[in-house]
Amino acid sequence: MTTATDGLLDAHLTLLAEALLPYRSSEQQLARWGTELAATLAGGGRLLVAGNGGSAAEAQHLTAELVGKLRDDRQPLSAIALHAETSAMTAIGNDYGYDEVFARQVRAHGRENDILLLMSTSGASANLLAAARAGREVGLRCWAFTGPAPNPLAEACHDTLAIASPESQVVQELHLVSTHVLCEYVDRALPAALAVAGTAGPATVERPGAPVRTGVEVVLDGGDRRVEAG
């Protein structure tokens, strides 16, 4: 007995298999991104992620893996899914329009050399394009997960992982694979990145506006202090 749904799974898997062939070439890019992201996070930087609809869910999945963990226990890493700031997002949308819901948050939270990752199956969402422009203005490195390239978001970002499939469901599924593989590479690169970030040590970390002093601080009777050269 057959039903109207017969063949849907096979058709979907066929589209997925077709996209997997070119997707295999993404290995080096994900490895490079993972190493770069690990260095950024280990050095005190932050990852900002945004997307709409299913891509918003993918964005939140990625930040959950970094703030929590993918597999093995490690320190939490700073990553924010911008759409999850619902009160801020709705206030911005109400006051400035929906195209600004991510861009204004990028300007608020982003710092120079942080990383902004934007996820879109179409690569044409106006609010993500505005976020990419804001990211570049602030000095963030802008990456994108998109569907087939060329597309406007790919052109607006510094680097893009584009899935070669016309089917948005397949694109999102391989974005999820990319999320897991990216986090695997972050975890692999993190110990070395933390070692590099820790080589400076607290003695050489300067606070903005604070004088730099070297030597040994001696406390004398009466509370007077003097610094002797080391």
- 163-171: average pLDDT: 97
CB-CB neighbours of 198 under 10 Å: 11
- Using one digit for the tens of pLDDT, what is the confidence trace for 28-79? 999 999 999 999 999 999 999 999 999 999 999 999 999 999 999 999 999 9
CATH number of 31-198: 3.40.50.10490
Q: Which long-range contacts (CB under 8 A, 24 or more apart) does 196-201 make?
A: 196/39, 196/42, 197/39, 197/42, 197/43, 197/44
pLDDT for the residue 211: 40
pLDDT number for residue 206: 38
| β-pair partners for 48 | 80, 116
This prediction has a pTM of 0.83
- What is residue 198's predicted lDDT score, i.e. its pLDDT? 86
Residue 69: count of CB within 10 angstroms of its CB: 15
| pLDDT given for residue 25 in this prediction | 96
Q: What is the C-alpha separation between 124 and 151, in angstroms, rounded? A: 7
Secondary structure of residue 201 in the 3-state scheme:
coil
- Write down the pLDDT at residue 5: 58
Tell me the average pLDDT of the chain. Answer: 88
pLDDT(203) > 70: no
User: What is the arithmetic mean of pLDDT over 82-105?
Assistant: 97
**Closest alpha carbon to 23 in 185, 157, 172:** 172
pLDDT of 4 reads 58
Please determine, for residue 222, whether its predicted confidence score (pLDDT) is greater than 60.
no
Least confident of 41-50, 153-162, 180-189, 195-204: 195-204
Q: What are the pLDDT digits (tens) for 4-19?
A: 557 999 999 999 999 9
Give the orientation angle of helix 168-198 with respect to helix 27-42, to 10 degrees: 40
